[in-house]
Amino acid sequence: MMDDSPFSKNPTITPLSPDSFNAAYRTLQRNAENLRHQTEPDIDGLAPLIEESLRAYAICKQRLETVRRALEEQLGPEPHSDGEENVAINDVVSR
């Protein structure tokens, strides 16, 4: 039986835990570095790299959103002096 998963073709791609922001973030950093330092485009490795990066991005985005919601639940929206909600929580989490 032949394994057609991107993990079998590229040993640097590892499965990501949906609960690990740090692992997903390191994956994004590693993949960006690999692309930045390529002297020749690796077209065969590009699709699996992009797929892995998209999964890692989705994990990071979901974990950040979870943190943002938890902060809002604990701290609540803080009003400005003009009555508008403070967007500081969104600013911190979206960086």
pLDDT digits (tens, 9 = 90+) for 37-93: 988 888 888 999 999 999 999 999 999 999 999 999 998 875 555 555 555 555 555
Is 83 inside a domain boundary? yes
Give the C-alpha separation, 63 to 24, whole Å. Answer: 10
12 within some domain: yes
Q: What's the number of domains the chain is made of?
A: 1
For residue 11, being part of any structural domain is answered with yes
> Does 13 map to a domain?
yes
User: What's the predicted TM-score (pTM) here?
Assistant: 0.62
Q: For residue 34, give every residue at least 6 positions away whose Cβ sits within 8 Å of its Cβ, in sequence order, or none.
A: 12, 49
The domain of 41 spans 6-93
Decide if 59 is inside a domain.
yes
**Is 1 within a domain?**
no
In a domain, 48, yes or no: yes
